[in-house]
A = this chain, B = another copy of it.
Amino acid sequence: MARAATTTDAFNAVAELRRRQILDLLAQGERPVGDFVDLLGLAQPQVSKHLRVLREVDLVRVREVGRQRVYRLNPGPLKPLYEWLATYERRWNERFDSMDDVLDDLKAKETD
């Protein structure tokens, strides 16, 4: 078995930086494919491919306008990620828990 497909779920789809960038642009509003090509400096085919992945996990929706395809964000599938992370959010402030962490940090700096 190889790595899980990028279209398995939002976790995998969003692991790719380019797709996150696409979503970030969509967060500002609808956009046709060409916009991503221009704004992200990617080749058109790659943009279409990334959009396809995002479509398959339902993170984006398309609307046809003439010869353009206008994409827009559908954030719903991100909710599970956010909720999973929320469990951990409380923790990265509790640095006081164990002495080990402090020791580890010192070690880490030595190894630099």
Contact = CB atoms under 8 A, between A and B. Distances in A.
Interface of A: 3-4, 6, 11-12, 14-17, 20, 23-24, 27, 61, 63, 72-76, 78-79, 81-82, 84-89, 91-92, 98, 100-101, 104
A57 to B, nearest CB: 12
Say how many copies of this protein the assembly contains. Answer: 2
Contact of A100 (B14, B16, B27, B61): B61
A20 B84 contact: yes
Contact of A4 (B16, B76, B78, B91): B16
A75 to B, nearest CB: 4
A74 B94 CA distance: 10
5 contacts: A4-B17, A12-B15, A23-B88, A27-B87, A63-B100
B82 A78 contact: no
Contacts of A101: 61, 74
